[in-house]
Amino acid sequence: MSTAPSVELAEPKSEQDWADYYRLRYERLRKPHGQPPGSERDDPAEPSSLHVVAKVDGRVVGAGCWVLGVRSASDPSARRIFARFRQMAVDPDFERRGIGRAITRHVEERSRALGAVEMVGNVRAENVGFMRKQGWVEQGEGITLFGTVESIAMVKGLT
């Protein structure tokens, strides 16, 4: 395993950050499944999502986003804030170098600071082991993307 690079985590700010962010999400998560450019932005939660880029030496090498939600309850005092983590991507040249772990930790810390008590997400089957190592637990069957990409519903408590 290579030495972990020095990683800067921040919200995308410049036009170039945003372009690199969406390019990475498209290249890693949509293009391999025959999806058109722009499909990396088509989730209804995209406009209300929070975004993070991971940079090494100024280069965007990781991306992720999440959106906060509230679980309703008949008793208003029992409502709970949760965060749905989605579309994490890491540049293939930087896989297994701590980028995904840094993004996941950042999203969890930010979500906790915003009042979330748990993280949820549909994790692609090939990434379940990675998320387990980050403390996430399987909750059942997830969605199937593009008719072929299986996922598992996973959760992590933040309290």
Predicted confidence (pLDDT) per residue in 50-85, tens digit: 999 999 999 999 999 999 998 876 776 777 899 999
Q: Report d(CA 11, CA 29) in Å as an integer.
A: 20
Count other Cβ atoms within 10 Å, centred on residue 91. 19
Predicted confidence (pLDDT) per residue in 116-140, tens digit: 999 999 998 889 999 999 999 999 8
Q: Which helix (H) or strand (E) segment is 155 a member of?
A: strand 149-157
- The pLDDT value recorded for residue 4 is 61
pLDDT at 3 over 60: no
Of 10-19, 96-105, 112-121, 140-149, the one with minimum mean pLDDT is 140-149
Predicted confidence (pLDDT) per residue in 6-19, tens digit: 999 999 999 999 99
Residues 6+ apart with CB under 8 A from 85: 64, 65, 66, 104, 107, 119, 120, 121
Q: Counting runs of H as helices and runs of E as strands, what totals does the chain give?
A: 3, 7
Domains located in the chain, CATH noted:
8-121 (3.40.630.30)
Query: Phi and psi dihedrals of 126, rounded to 5?
Result: -70, -10
| Percentage of residues of the chain with pLDDT beyond 90 | 64
Edge-first strand order for the sheet with 59-71 is 8-10, 50-56, 59-71, 80-90, 118-124, 149-157, 137-145
Question: Can you tell me the mean pLDDT for 151-156?
Answer: 91
* Whole-structure pTM value: 0.87
